[in-house]
Structure 1
């Protein structure tokens, strides 16, 4: 019985956390980071102030949670195993495109861009806690493929930037800047496939798996 009760309380806490994060994101977009108080967030989310402060003692902690959840993936874990760069980059590329297609990712970038002049620490949080950890996972994967001999890459930072940039430049940045911009699932798959082929053609070792 105690396990059932514990599970129930955990589910309720997770649901309230999701409500708080959603309310904070909406208010940051509507009013700006500075004008949004934790009390207002509690009111919008429908939770008590005590509940909110228990989970998020400050706006900075709440924004960190927005960053973390925006960059989280359903299949979080280790990058694909090295050995087939086409399959591995395909999996990474589809995961990245799914992340960039989420409304909360667009919201996150809009908050950071709007508040950058007054609150550069938000951009730092987004970069250090969201974008860079994801970039490092892709970089680590390419380095593993290099060490496995499937690719020959002198600068894995450049290669990872090239790969992610080919996807984000089509899937994400126009959506952020152009009202009504939409990309179909079929087109996203094509964009990812072409990015994989480009990296494999540029860096693939002769006779490597996946060529």
Structure 2
């Protein structure tokens, strides 16, 4: 019985957290970060102020949670096994394209860009809590493949930037800037496949060093 009650409470807490994050994102887009209060978020989400403050005692904590939520996907999963760089990069590339295609990712970037002049700390949160941890996971995978001899990567930061950039430049940035821009699943798959082939042509080796 105790376990069932605990599980129930955890589920309710997750549901309320999701409502809060959705409401906060909507309000940040509508009103801006400065004019959005935690009280407004509580009202929009339909949870009590006490519940909201318990999970997010400050607006900065709430924004940090939005960043973490937006960047979480291929995120907490283990990296692909080392040894087959084409398969590994395909897995990473598909996960990255899926992540960038989420509406909350576009929303997050729009909030950061709009508020950058007055709240540069939002960009710092986005970079340090979202982008960089994800980027580091890709860089570390490439370093592991380098150690295995499947690729020869002298600058892992640059190589990771090149690979992710080939995908983001087609899948994400136009969607952020051009109203109505959409990329079909088939085109996304083609973009990822071409990024993998291009990366392999530049960095892959024929065998262990």
TM-score range, shorter chain: over 0.9
Tell me how far apart the structure 2 counterparts of residues 158 and 6 of structure 1 sit (CA, whole Å): 46
Residue of structure 1 in register with 2:8 after alignment: 8
Tell me how far apart the structure 1 counterparts of residues 47 and 135 of structure 2 sit (CA, whole Å): 35
Question: What secondary structure does 2:174 align onto?
Answer: helix
Aligned-pair CA distance for 1:54: 0.4
Aligned-pair CA distance for 1:79: 1.2
Number of residue pairs the alignment of both structures matches = 208
The residue correspondences of 1:58-207 to structure 2 (distance < 5 A) are 58-73=58-73, 76-207=76-207
TM-score, normalising length: structure 1: 0.97
Tell me how far apart the structure 1 counterparts of residues 155 and 81 of structure 2 sit (CA, whole Å): 20
Tell me how far apart the structure 1 counterparts of residues 133 and 72 of structure 2 sit (CA, whole Å): 11
Give unmatched runs, 5+ long, in structure 1. Answer: none
Aligned-pair CA distance for 1:60: 0.2
Residue of structure 2 in register with 1:33 after alignment: 33
Tell me how far apart the structure 2 counterparts of residues 16 and 157 of structure 1 sit (CA, whole Å): 38
Structure 1 segments, 4+ long, off by >6 Å, are none
Aligned-pair CA distance for 1:75: 6.6
What are the superposed Cα offsets for residues 164-190 of structure 1, whole Å, 9 maximum, x if unpaired?
A: 000000000000000000000000000
Tell me how far apart the structure 1 counterparts of residues 75 and 66 of structure 2 sit (CA, whole Å): 18
What are the superposed Cα offsets for residues 73-121 of structure 1, whole Å, 9 maximum, x if unpaired?
A: 0672221121010000000000000000000000000000000000000
Tell me how far apart the structure 2 counterparts of residues 104 and 28 of structure 1 sit (CA, whole Å): 12
The RMSD of aligned alpha carbons is 0.9
Tell me how far apart the structure 1 counterparts of residues 6 and 194 of structure 2 sit (CA, whole Å): 47
Question: What secondary structure does 1:140 align onto?
Answer: helix
Tell me how far apart the structure 1 counterparts of residues 96 and 119 of structure 2 sit (CA, whole Å): 27
What are the superposed Cα offsets for residues 33-81 of structure 1, whole Å, 9 maximum, x if unpaired?
A: 0000000000000000000000000000000000000000067222112
TM-score, normalising length: structure 2: 0.98
Tell me how far apart the structure 2 counterparts of residues 77 and 171 of structure 1 sit (CA, whole Å): 22
Question: What secondary structure does 1:18 align onto?
Answer: helix
